[in-house]
A = this chain, B = another copy of it.
Amino acid sequence: MSESNHPGISGLLAAHVSCARLGIIGGGQLAGMTGRAAQSLGCDVIILERDAVCPAARLGLRLHLGDWNDPEALIQFARQVDVITLENEFVDATALMWLEECGHKVFPTAASLALIQDKLIQKQTLVRAGLPVPRFESVDSCEEVLAAAKALGWPLVLKARRNGYDGKGNFTLHSAKDVPVGWKKLGGGTDKLFVEAFWNFSQELAVIVTRGRGSDRVTYPVVETIQRDHVCQVVQAPAALSLELAAQATDLATRAVTTVGGVGSFGVELFLSATGELVLNELAPRVHNSGHYTIEACECSQFENHVRAVLGWPLGSPRMTAPAAAMCNVLGRRRAPGRAHGLPEALGVSGAHVHLYGKTVSEAGRKMGHITALGQTVDEATATAERAARALHFDTIDEN
């Protein structure tokens, strides 16, 4: 059939030819990696983000410039896509509910987000479902913190109910004299806070659970996350656990995501005590740093499975394709331009998969990239990833 026999085709071409149009709220590296996975499946991707210079834009994802707290920006964005998803938990659930009422598809749903983004409500929800969490109490004043300390004991962790990440929004109180300091630091009085019993964990664990729009779901291996200064440094997959504990962690993570009606990839953080007791620490309603290793180490990554889940497509296998993997975050050490130094040295480490996010500015503790390595053991993989990560830095700016 020749082109001239088919006058309708140019009109059809004007229509979008993608499989689906996916909108992502937020333009960081999580949106970047999710957007790439969606593009490989033939989707159009649009990002809602205030900052034109963001990691997602550097990967070439199309931006809709705007503030997700601005209803007008949200609705204009929503009109351009088939499904909206999130790369962070900071957009207000009531705004998402309004989008849903306007007929837009949002996954994870506003109802899920409402159960997660306020960490006090999140813990109350988990407790109501019979799931184990560290003991906690709502507090509205320094006096209430002191009262809670009587029940929960010292140390006590003061936490912001919303918008915390990487240790921001947490303050450990060792005694009564720390209370006013922490209260002021976290903006008590303005921002809502709660307290949690200090959980003396021996290991921090995490599990990515991807749940589809039906009742389908997959669960990735339990990993161990190693933090320093409240920021994840290394993720080791699989975690060194008995089969029984791994099964228990997987079960808790799955039940937690099911409890909040999650759709998409969710990061579930857990604590394991020296006595073998597991509790849920926190749910993230999105792809998660602890799942970056899945790009190279699993049959289908957390990112691709997130896309499949929110678009209602069949989920891929979370099976690892190597006996072990490690992911090492590449963190900024101070304020400096985001140009990475030492890349040839990092690439010289055989087996290291280098991911740089292209952020324009490095800051102390800021995630500038990550390295994944596979291996026969987690120790071998960790050594490879750490060697490559150590080669990278952002510090040669003349600071005089």
Q: Which residues of A contact B (CB under 8 A)?
A: 1, 3, 6, 8-9, 12-13, 15-19, 35-36, 39-42, 45, 58-62, 299, 308, 312-314, 316-317, 321-322, 334-340, 343-344, 347-348, 350-351, 354-358, 360-361, 369, 374, 397-399
Contacts and interface: CB of A to CB of B under 8 A. Distances in A.
Contacts of A12: 337, 397
20 contacts: A1-B334, A6-B399, A8-B398, A15-B337, A17-B338, A18-B358, A19-B340, A35-B60, A36-B36, A39-B358, A42-B343, A42-B357, A42-B358, A45-B60, A60-B60, A312-B344, A313-B343, A313-B347, A317-B351, A321-B322
A355 B18 CA distance: 13
Contacts of A344: 312-314
Given A3-B335, A337-B9, A374-B321, A19 B60 contact: no
Contact of A17 (B42, B61, B354, B358): B358
A361 B1 contact: no
Contact of A347 (B9, B316, B322, B350): B316
Contacts of A40: 354-356
Contacts of A398: 8
Contacts of A313: 343-344, 347
A369 B322 CA distance: 27
Contact of A42 (B45, B321, B340, B374): B340
A216 to B, nearest CB: 11
A43 to B, nearest CB: 9
Contacts of A39: 58-60, 358
B42 A347 contact: no
B316 A41 contact: no
A317 B1 CA distance: 46
